[in-house]
Structure 1
Amino acid sequence: MNTDTVTREELHHRDVDLRFYRRSDGLFEVEGRLVDTKTHPFRRLLAEEDAPPGHHLHDITVRLVLDAELRVHAADARMSATPFSICPGAATALQALVGLSIGAGWNKRVRELLRGVASCTHIVELLGPMATTVLQGIAPLRLASTDDPEDDAQRRFRVDSCYAFAAEREVVVRLLPRRQREKLGTSI
């Protein structure tokens, strides 16, 4: 397919910004922001006139406060732009996340608690990448204890968490030799 002759016209822009912070009180904070804009005039449902190009259809910020074990202490959302005036009411559903921990099963639990009419689709969409941002943000702090003999839970968390950290692959063999697994039919 020759794309040299194909032109494109941007119709919609979604910007997702994710940030992880260490707080002065010993806790951590992750913030996700989703902004949707159109490059042309558009009519919102129930609106009486068109919104101009560049006008935000959505501008939603979600914030979670966590401890070092990744347990949620606080959750809130700010919905600066939404298609309907009633949408910001969906932010109150985030209180259901307080007490949960980011880790295996996080996305499934979030979808169970906040699905459908319980909350906002876009808030739910943000919470998955926010969790991975937390894991990336806290990784340097956790890596220091990965091979600590006292921290077997941390080693178990890393092993088999992704392709590179498969128990039989080189990364685990070299970094976490006590957690390696023999390849089928061969030993490492």
Structure 2
Amino acid sequence: MPLNKPVRRKLHHTRQVQCQGFEREDGLWDIEAHMTDVKTHSVDNTERGYVDAGEPFHDMWMRLTIDKTMKIHQVEAEVDASPFRHCPGIAGNFRQLEGTRIGPGWHRMTREMFSGIQGCTHLHELLTPLATTALQTIWPILAEGLTIERITEKMLDSCHGWSSQSEFVRQYVPHLFVEADNTQPNTSET
């Protein structure tokens, strides 16, 4: 179901992020993201003169090569368009992710690694959809042979859909179901 009809408006900016997951013939996986920012009007830019309507203001790529344990073997980042000439120089810093493993605490670690002048806001933003795409790409392989119970134990309380209080858990793995605590503390004064 789409969003409600908005008030009349005029489009000014479009950000597109496309992610894809590929199985390689060497047993590794390439997870790729491409992000563009495009405006519907020309924008003055000190270093580029101006960025014409429809021309990418940002055009950035990132590839994580991972194994099925989510360990990152190689990182490649490219900046094809940016507001400043020196922006592409930071792309190589993202190779610091090589050897890390996507999992609990990984996003926190990446925020620390690439905060401020040590990173690029836009390349760093690609890490979240890349991690999600990696999981969605590899999950069916990881889940092969696992029972619904084992899958649920791994995913339990990782998001709203896998809540231990959900009807899904109640129906399929009832021993992991937790009744919601609907009691509200009484905050009214007497």
| Structures share fold, TM-score greater than 0.5 | yes
Please tell me whether the aligned partners of residues 147 and 176 of structure 1 are also in contact (alpha carbons under 8 angstroms): no
Aligned match of 1:80: 80
Are 2:168 and 1:171 equivalent residues in the alignment? Answer: yes
State the Cα distance separating 1:64 from its structure 2 match: 0.1
Which of these residues, 168, 178, 183, is aligned with residue 179 of structure 2? 183
Aligned ranges 1:100-119 → 2 under 5 Å: 100-119=100-119
How far apart, CA to CA, are the structure 2 residues paired with 1:145 and 1:27? 20
Cα pair distance change 1:66/1:176, threshold 3 Å: farther
Instruction: List runs of 5+ in structure 2 lacking aligned partners.
Output: 182-190
Aligned match of 1:40: 41
- Cα RMSD over matched residues? 2.4
How far apart, CA to CA, are the structure 2 residues paired with 1:88 and 1:107? 22
Identity, % of aligned positions? 33
State the Cα distance separating 1:182 from its structure 2 match: 4.1
Cα pair distance change 1:164/1:12, threshold 3 Å: closer
How far apart, CA to CA, are the structure 2 residues paired with 1:53 and 1:131? 31
Aligned match of 2:91: 91
Return the letter of the residue paired with 1:139: W
The TM-score with structure 2 as length reference comes to: 0.83
Instruction: Give SS of 1:34's match.
Output: strand
Aligned match of 1:23: 24
Q: Matched residue pairs, number?
A: 178
Instruction: List runs of 5+ in structure 1 lacking aligned partners.
Output: none
Deviating beyond 2 angstroms after TM superposition, the runs of 4 or more aligned structure 1 residues are 142-146, 154-157, 166-178, 181-185
Aligned match of 2:146: 146
The TM-score with structure 1 as length reference comes to: 0.83
Q: What CA deviation, in whole Å up to 9, does each residue of 1:99-140 have, x standing for no partner?
A: 111111121111111111111110111101111111112222
How far apart, CA to CA, are the structure 2 residues paired with 1:7 and 1:183? 45
Return the letter of the residue paired with 1:60: M
Aligned match of 2:159: 162
